[in-house]
Structures are given as structure tokens and as C-alpha cells.
Amino acid sequence: MNFFDGYRYLTALHQHRHFGRAAASCHITQPALSNALRALEDHFGVPLVRRSRQFEGFTPEGEQVLATAHRMLHEQESLQQRLKSSVGQPTGRLLMGAVPTALPMAARFLSRLIQRHPGLQPHLRSLPSQDIESGLDTLGLDLALGYAERAPQRLLALPQYLERYYLVQRAPAAGAILQRGQALSWTDAASHTLALLAPEMHNRAIVDGVFAGLGLKVHPALETNSVLVLLAAVQAGTLATVLPGALVSTVASQGQLLARPLAQPEATTPIGMLVLAEARQTLALQAALALARDTSWLAEARAHSGALEP
């Protein structure tokens, strides 16, 4: 059997958590993927995947093989990049994760990276902080944009911008662009009927922490792990939400939204580019980290981390 293909299918199953979607991402049929995984199990003599009618996770032995698969595929990709890249122009894949509220900034970053290095092929995934950290640990991700304050010591965090928070609600009058309102205290924000991200998401922990520091306990009317759902609920006109400025500025073109900076207290959270400190860096990752340190990019990131200019 082709071990690299088997390992590739195993990592695809880890990413998609679904046999059909994993097979589609590898451009093969689901039976072909299942047969390849069973061949891996026959080779190692142990079950790797917990199955019923659907994917239920990996066995402890499967987790060990998955870690090896990530390392081998990472080394193969690194070698291919060194062999195929010309001086100053890296080529190949770059696997990047981002927490949902930082996705617009991550997309902006990758756009700038492709402008510099057209041969790169970035792949961006929306992931919670826990999955970002485990993905970096196992080399399933090359880098990520996330919360620098919670990054463990094994991760290197390159500061990018400060996340500031806004109460976002439907504007009282229709407008062609996002409207910026007067600053609002967090105490006043708590009096609104809120839609917030789900409790397991780090952004929610930040928001709850600010309210708790003021002695307030907020009971949102709607909780979701989708930023799009939050925006749809706000545009329906019945709810308000709390979002970071970098995300609010991205939806400015939708109009009929009012963003009010939250103050008293002035809460900020550092957002950083995260990478496994001791990992061997591919040429693509080296190029990305060079951009993450570039002063012109950092100025752009900080300029777009607010909802609107005052």
C-alpha cells in the first residue's frame, strides 16, 4: 500500500470528522478511503478508527499513528518546498487556522502573502482555540491567528493587533454603510437583549469576564458558534451582540448596522500569529512569519482592527 496516501486520508478524516467529506477533500470515493484506512489497520494490526454508522473518533493507537502521519506529511511538504522553490519565491501549501472573530484579518493577511509569493497555496480553517493549539502541536497546522494571552509556552506568539469591542445592533435608520455611534458602557450594553458566541469559545470567555468584573451576569437570548448567525440575528432587528472591531469593519458594506465602542472599562485583547516554537519551518511558513513581522503589514492590521474611524 502507499503509506503517504494512507496517512493523507487519515489526516483528512481528522480534519473533517466525516468519512464522506474526508474522501471528497482527497478526490476519492468514500469506499476507497475506507479501504485505505483498513489497510493501515491491517498493517499495524490494531484498529485506528472508532466506527459505527459514522466516524466517532480515533482509538488511542489511532491517535499515535495520526501524530506520525502529521509529522511525515509535514516533512514531505517541507522537502518538496525546498526542492521546487526558487530563491526568494517559496511554493507549496500553508495550513493556517484562525479563531472565528479573527477570520477577516487572517484572510487579509493571506491575501498580502499571496501578493508577495504567488506560488504559495494557503488553506485557511476556522477553528476554536483548543483545536488551534492541538493542530499546531501535531503539525496539522503551520500557523494560526488567535488569542496570544492563552498561548502555552510551547507556542511562539507574534503580536499583531489589539482586539477592541463594540456593541452592534440594527441602525434606527437605513444607511449605505456601517454607522458608528457614541461610546457605550459595558453596564449599559448588558441591558440589551444579547446574542453571543457559545460559552466554549474564548471570545465569549472574554466578554463574560468583562461583565463579571462589573458584577454583572448576562443571560443571552441566543448563543451560537457562528458569527454569521450573530450578524443575521442583529440584522433582524431584535437583538444586539458584542463583536471585535476587526470583524465589525468587515461587514461595513452590509449597512443598516450601528456599532458603538464599549468603554468603562476599556477592554482589549492581544491577537497574535501563533506557531509551534520548536517545529522545523517550511519555506512557506518562513515567508508567512516574515510578513507577520513586517511593519507595513502590522500597521495595516492595526488600522483595520477598529470598526470605523472615529
The DSSP annotation for 216-270 comes to -----SEEES-HHHHHHHHHTTS-BEEEEHHHHGGGGGG-SEEEEEEESS--EEE
Indicate if the pLDDT at residue 178 is higher than 70.
no
Cell 493501515 appears where?
40
Q: How far apart are CA 63 and CA 134, in angstroms?
A: 12
How confident is the model over 253-295, as pLDDT tens digits? 566 788 889 999 989 999 999 999 887 889 999 999 999 999 9
Phi then psi dihedrals of residue 41, to 5 deg? -65, -40
Pairing of strands 143-147, 179-180: unpaired
Q: How far apart are CA 195 and CA 263, in angstroms?
A: 19
- Range list of H helices, the chain: 3-16, 19-25, 30-44, 60-84, 103-116, 129-137, 186-189, 202-213, 227-235, 245-248, 283-292, 295-303
Going from N- to C-terminal start, the domains of the chain cover 1-84, 160-269
Q: Which amino acid is at 13?
A: L
Strand partners, 170: 257
How confident is the model over 78-91, as pLDDT tens digits? 777 778 877 778 99
Provide the 8-state DSSP code for 141.
-
How confident is the model over 23-34, as pLDDT tens digits? 888 888 888 888
- In this prediction, residues 96-100 reach a mean pLDDT of 94
pLDDT recorded at residue 36: 84
CATH number of 1-84: 1.10.10.10
pLDDT recorded at residue 307: 58
Rg (CA), the chain: 22
pLDDT range class, residue 189, cuts 50, 70, 90: very high
The average confidence (pLDDT) of the chain is 87
How confident is the model over 225-264, as pLDDT tens digits? 888 888 888 888 789 999 998 888 776 556 678 888 999 9
CATH T-level assignment (fold) for domain 160-269: D-Maltodextrin-Binding Protein; domain 2 (3.40.190)
